[in-house]
Structure 1
Amino acid sequence: MQEELDRISYECCTKDDENAKLSTKIKEIAEDRARLQKTTNIQQAQIEKHRALAEESGRKCDGLQLQVAGLQKEIDSLNRFHKQAAGNHNTVEVRLNRALEEVERLKAQLNKMKQMNKDKINEEHQNKENLLAENKMLKKQKAELIVGFKKQLKLIDILKRQKMHFEAAKLLSFTEEEFMTALDWGKS
C-alpha cells in the first residue's frame, strides 16, 4: 500500500508538473493573442489615420479643383483681355502659360497623392488580411493543442489501466507458482 501510495504521489507530482507546463503554454498563447490583438488595434488606428489623411487629401483636391477653376476663369479673362489689348499680347501669353503649367503641375501632384493614398490603403488592407490569417492560424493551433492535450490524457488513462492489469497479472502468476509449489510439497 505504501508503494502504491508513493507511486500515486509520484504520478500526481508528474501530473502537476504537466499541468503547470500546459498552464504556462496557455498563458503564452494568451499573451501572444493579446499581443496580436494590440497589433491589430494599432493597425486599425493606422488605417483610420490613413483614412483621415485620404479625406484631407480629398479636401485638398477639392481646393485644388477650385483653384484650377479659378485659374481657368483667369485664363478666360486673359483671353478676353488679349482680344481687347493686342499690345499686351506677350505678357498675357506668358501668364497664360504659367497658369497652365501650374494647373498641370497641380493635377500631376493631385494624381500622385491619390495614387499614394491608394497604395497606403491597399498596404494597410493587406496587413490587416495577413493579421487576420495569422490570428486564424493561431486559433487553429490552439484548438489542435487542446485536442492533443485531451488525447494525451486519454493515453495516460489507458496506460494506467494497462499498468494495473500488468501488476494484477504479475500478482496472479506469483500466486499460481506458490499454489503449484504447495501442491508439489503436499504430494511428497
Structure 2
Amino acid sequence: MSNYDDLKYKEEELMRMNQELEQQRQALKEDYMKFKNKDSNYQDDNYDENLDYAENYDDNEFNDVYREDSDEELQQQNNDSSEDGDFNNEVAIQQMVNQVRNIKSAQQNRENQQPIKYDDKKQEILEQELIVDEQKKILRMQSLKAEALKQELDNLLQQNKMKENLISEIEQKGKNFIDQTKKYTSQIVNLNEKYEQFRQKLQESQQKTKAIEKENLAITKEIESIKKEYRKIDAEANKKDIGINRTIEQIQKLKLEQQKNKLSNNDKQSDLSLNIDQFKKDNQRIEQQITESLQALKKQLKLIDILKRQRIHIIAARMFQFIETDFTKTTDLSNKIQY
C-alpha cells in the first residue's frame, strides 16, 4: 500500500502543478490578448520577418533544451521502470526544478544574444508567446508523465489485486490445512483411545489366562489327588483279594481235613461242621465286603471319569469362549482402526 499511496500523492502533485501552469498560461494569454487589442492596427513586414526569425530561433533553442530534458526524463523513466515502477516524489520535483532552470537558462541565453531590431512591445509579445509555448510544452510533458503514472498506478493496482487474490488463496489453503490438521489430530486421539482400550482388554485377557492357568493347576492337583486315592483303593482291593484267596485256601484245607477226618467221632464232626459253617459265613461276609468294595471302587472310578470329563469340558468351554470373544474383539478393533 505504500507504493499506492506514493503514486497517488505524485498524481495529486502533478495535477496541482498542471493546474498552476494552466492558470499561468491563461493569465499570459489574457495579457497577450489585451496587448494585441491595443496594438491591432500596427502592421510591419520587418516585424513579421523578425518575429518569424525570433520564433524559429527560440523554438530551436527551446527544442534543444527540451530534447535534452526529454532525454534525461526518458532515461529516468527507464531507470524507474527497471526498478519495478517505484517513482520517488523528490525525483519528480527535482525534474520540475530542472525544467524551470532550463527555461530560465534559455531565456538568459536569448537575452545574451544580439538583440533583434523591433519594437519593445512586439518583443514583449514575442517573449510572452514563447513563454506560452514553453508552458504548453511543459503541460504536454506533465500530461505524459501523468498518463505514465496513471498507467503505472493501474498496473500496481492490478498487481495488488493479484497479490490480494493470492493472499486469499493462501489463507484458504491455510484454513484447509488447519481443518485437516484438526481432523487428523482427532483421528489420532481416537486411535490412541482405541489402542488404550485394546491394551486394557489385552491385560484383562492376560489376567484371565493366568487365572485359568491357576485353575488348571488346581484341577491337575485334584486329579493327582484322585489318582492317589484310586491307587490307595486299588491297593486295599488287592489286599482284600489276597485275604480272600487266603481264606479260600484255608477253606480248601479245611475241606481236605474234613474229608480226612470224616470218619472221626460225632463230636469232632459236629465241631468241624460248626467251624465249616463259621468259615462259610466268614467267607460270605468277606465276599460281600469284596463285592461292595469293588462296586464302590467302580462307582468312584466312574465318578472320577465323569469329573474329569466335566472338568475338561468346563476348561475347554472357558478357553473356547475366551478365545472366541477375544478374537471377535480384536477383529472388530482392527477393522475400526483400519477405517
Q: Which amino acid aligns with 1:60?
A: K
Q: How many residues align?
A: 159
Structure 1 vs Structure 2 CA RMSD? 2.3
Q: Is the 8 A contact 1:71 1:99 kept in 2?
A: yes
For 1:62, the equivalent position in structure 2 comes to: 242
Residue aligned with 2:256, SS? helix
Distance 1:117 1:23 in 2: 45
Q: Is the 8 A contact 2:251 2:279 kept in 1?
A: yes
Larger Rg: 2
Correspondences of 1:23-172 after superposition (within 5 Å): 23-158=203-338, 161=339
Quote the offset at 1:2 in angstroms: 5.6
Residue aligned with 1:147, SS? helix
For 2:76, the equivalent position in structure 1 comes to: none
Q: TM-score, normalised by structure 2?
A: 0.42
Quote the offset at 1:73 in angstroms: 1.0
Quote the offset at 1:10 in angstroms: 5.1
Q: TM-score, normalised by structure 1?
A: 0.72
Q: Is the 8 A contact 1:40 1:131 kept in 2?
A: no
Within the candidate set 17, 28, 33, 2:197 is matched to 17
Q: Which amino acid aligns with 1:121?
A: L
Q: Is the 8 A contact 1:47 1:121 kept in 2?
A: no
Higher RCO (C-alpha 8 Å, min separation 6): 1
Distance 2:267 2:205 in 1: 87
Distance 1:115 1:123 in 2: 12
Q: Is the 8 A contact 1:64 1:106 kept in 2?
A: yes
Distance 1:91 1:70 in 2: 17
Distance 2:270 2:257 in 1: 15
Distance 1:88 1:49 in 2: 47
Question: Which runs of no fewer than 5 residues in structure 1 stay unpaired?
Answer: 162-188
Distance 1:157 1:14 in 2: 8
Distance 2:274 2:252 in 1: 15
Q: Is the 8 A contact 2:223 2:308 kept in 1?
A: yes
Quote the offset at 1:153 in angstroms: 1.9
Distance 1:44 1:87 in 2: 58
Distance 1:85 1:109 in 2: 35
Q: Which amino acid aligns with 2:230?
A: H
Question: Which runs of no fewer than 5 residues in structure 2 stay unpaired?
Answer: 1-180
Q: In proportion to residue count, which structure has more helix?
A: 1
